[in-house]
Structure 1
Amino acid sequence: MTSQAVVVAVVVTFNRRELLQTTLEGITGGTQVPDAIVVVDNASTDDTAEFLKDYQGPVPTDVVRLSANVGGAGGFVVGMERAVLDHHADHVWIMDDDTEPQPAALREALDASEAYRQETGEAPAFIASRVVWTDGRDHPMNRMRPRMGATEDARSAAARIGATQIRSASFVSVLIRAEEIKQHGLPIADYFIWNDDLEYTARISREGTALTTNASVANHHTKVFGDAGADPGPRFYYEVRNKLWVYTRSNALAPWEKILFTGASLRNWTRTIAASSNRKVLLGGLYKGLRHSLKAPRSNEQVLDGIYSLRDVREPVR
């Protein structure tokens, strides 16, 4: 496929300079490279700022250093806004600083998007890479399940181009059409970490098509090989609060999906707490998360006040 589309990669980083370097090498070493890279540094306290100050890669790199850590969620809000408004992206390719896209990751994602458009006349909202751990095994934290309720025609159309219809994806190498960002807005910065990707990708795919293809691969350099059921310690608070925000404060999921997802979360939380060696910490996070979920997330402008002047990426209503 010959594509003239502008692709901008967005990487959010915090105190992981060596992993960030691996991420940038993966992006710039691909068979196709993006037109620009936006790196959002969440006020790192290691040598990330010095590394980025001296970084001179083969792709134009726009570094945004924030004065405070607003988490992965806030970082993606800033990076995606900048990619769309300052770099005029047609596709935004987003990932954390522990992601290592493999050489064909971007090329295959673009090819899948175009092949599906030619097959159906519809451009998919996003294409998610297959995510593997450092040893090549499918990473359970990023496993994407086929979309429930997809029609046989829709499943067949995806299969013919080597893809699978999905409902949501993690922010580990996902290629999003800028038109979707203009239509649906940005992620929710107040999530800070975890489930911001679930909410956002489910939001933009609720009425559209989302795909994953095994031909596009990214390594996820997490410390351990495990899924969301692994003991998260104090971060369990974000898992509980943010999942409840998705289920009660967002229109990303249909009512029947909210019922199914809530049941699954309750089962997972019960298993996680039961298996933990420090149940007191998880129970404290559960209680705090339940309590704080009763209040709606703050607006992105409130979260980023004094840190970054956010602009509106949405297309004006005509």
Structure 2
Amino acid sequence: MKTSAVVVTYNRLSLLKECVNGLKQQTDPLAHIIIINNASTDDTAVYLKELKKNDNKNQFIIYNSSKNLGGAAGFNQGMKVFVEKTDDDCVWIMDDDTIPHRTSHSALSSAADALDNKFGFLCSDVRWTNGAPVNTPKVAPEWHKQIDKNLVKVEQATFVSVLISRKNIFKYGYPISEFVIWGDDTEYTTRLSREEECYFVNDSVVTHKTATYLAGTTFANDDPNRISRYEYMYRNLMYIAKKYYTRKKVALQFSIGMYAGINVFLKAKTFRMKRLNAAILGSIKGIFFNPKIEFPVKRTK
């Protein structure tokens, strides 16, 4: 199985270098490493130019965007580059602060083989710098179905370390660019798991070097610079509820958004009104949000 890795990066050069070094050192070598540079303003472009210059194996594919596309559009673009510029079987997607261990890819590849390549997506065991679990996937009710293969069936995962086949991209499309940030991975993995069996691969471990431990971050205490992301999140969660679940779930999600806004207004110590507006406006916008799913164009010989 030939695999391309896709890394989306923005202004985190030191982490990008560590991520790339981890990808280069995989025990099961990658056919291609695709890097989507979201118009970084640090020295990322210089580093990528040098990386490509010394690429004797033609392993690296660099896409320098003229503007910051956002995370969702970055992954959308990365998967398009994968489809259009390679003939590899699978794509392994991650952020620039994802640091793969040496056997991360080989474990995913072995799991794919054990499943006869019949899966929607495979995801890794994501750990923070202290070893604590983060980005935990949503476990399926029949989680134990392939437990003898050291696999746990799941329904949702984050784009921290996820393997997807080329055939499923053609069958189910690309991630939705209009999500901008937060929720694009939830929507896409839900899209796949509703049609295909998807698994958490216990032997594939990566480190997610976020600045803080995500499990301890809440809407009330999150950095004020990140508040706008919550508007996208509540809007996107409303779309997911409308697209994949019942009207009861839609009503519940809307209520959750309203409650979150009021709750954060009462509990936050800073920017209370801004946090309130993010949840309320995001939930309302989600009622009308209806982006289209893009599909690859099949190549003609």
Smaller-chain TM-score range?
Answer: 0.7 to 0.9
The match for 2:148 is 160
Counterpart of 2:61 in 1: which secondary structure?
strand
Secondary structure at 1:37 match in 2? strand
Partner of 1:21: 17
2:199 aligned with 1:229, yes or no? no
Name the CA shift for 1:273/1:125 in 2 (closer, same or farther; >3 Å): farther
Residue in 2 that maps onto 1:124: 119
- Asked if residue 293 in structure 1 is aligned to residue 286 in structure 2, the reply is yes
Counterpart CA distance in 2 for 1:146 and 1:257 is: 22
Please say if residues 181 and 314 of structure 1, whose CA atoms lie closer than 8 Å, have aligned partners that are also in contact: no
CA–CA separation in structure 2 for the residues paired with 1:187 and 1:236: 19
- Equivalent residues in 2 for 1:1-318 (5 A)? 5-55=1-51, 56=54, 60-117=59-116, 123-139=118-134, 142-148=135-141, 150=142, 155-227=143-215, 229-230=218-219, 231=222, 232-248=226-242, 250=243, 253-255=244-246, 258=249, 262=253, 265-266=256-257, 272-278=264-270, 279-299=272-292, 312-313=295-296
Structure 1 position 133, deviation (Å) = 0.2
Q: Distance in 1 between matches of 2:47 and 2:252?
A: 41
Give the superposition deviation at 1:207: 1.5
Percent sequence identity over aligned pairs: 31
> 1:37, CA displacement in angstroms?
0.9
The one-letter code matched in structure 1 to 2:67 is A
Instruction: Report the TM-score, using the length of structure 2 for normalisation.
Output: 0.87
Tell me the CA shift for residue 233 of structure 1. Answer: 2.5
Question: C-alpha separation between the residues in 2 aligned to 1:113 and 1:258?
Answer: 33
Letter in 2 for 1:66: S
How many angstroms does 1:268 deviate by?
Answer: 6.0
State the Cα distance separating 1:274 from its structure 2 match: 4.4
Is the Cα–Cα contact under 8 Å of residues 179 and 232 in structure 2 kept in the other structure?
A: yes
SS in 2 for 1:214: strand
Provide the secondary structure at the position in 2 that maps to 1:293.
Answer: helix
Secondary structure of the structure 1 residue equivalent to 2:115: helix
Please, which runs of 5 or more residues in structure 2 have no aligned partner? none
CA-based RMSD:
2.5
Change (3 A) 1:16 1:257: farther
* Residues 1:275 and 1:59: Cα distance change in structure 2 (over 3 Å): farther
Q: Could you tell me the TM-score, scaled by structure 1's length?
A: 0.83
SS of 1:34 mapped into structure 2: coil
CA contact (8 A) 2:260 2:279 kept: no
Distance in 1 between the 2:176 and 2:250 partners? Answer: 22
Assess if the C-alpha contact under 8 Å between 1:183 and 1:315 holds in 2. no
Measured at CA, do residues 87 and 11 of structure 1 come closer, stay the same or move farther in structure 2, by a change above 3 Å?
Answer: same
**Change over 3 Å in CA distance of 1:28–1:256 after alignment to 2:** farther
Distance 2:112 2:251 in 1: 29
Q: Deviations over 1:187-215 (max 9, x none)?
A: 00011110000000110110210000220
**Structure 1 residues 178 and 268, CA, compared in 2 at 3 Å: closer, same or farther?**
farther
Give, as a single letter, the amino acid of the residue that structure 1 aligns with 2:72: A
**Match of 1:113, SS?**
helix
Aligned length: 288
Q: CA separation in 2, counterparts of 1:95 and 1:63? A: 15
Rounded to whole Å, the distance in 2 between the matches of 1:17 and 1:286 is 32
Range 190-199 or range 235-244, more displaced: 235-244
Kindly provide the CA deviation profile for residues 97-147 of structure 1, in whole angstroms up to 9, marking residues without a partner as x.
Answer: 110011111000110111123xxxx611111000000111111xx112321
C-alpha contact 1:184 1:314 (8 A) present in aligned 2 = no
Amino acid in the other structure paired with 1:91: C
Q: Conserved in 2, the CA contact under 8 Å of 1:183 and 1:314?
A: no
1:217-270 superposed Cα distances (whole Å, 9 cap, x missing partner): 11111111123735353322111111112222x3xx343894698289546666
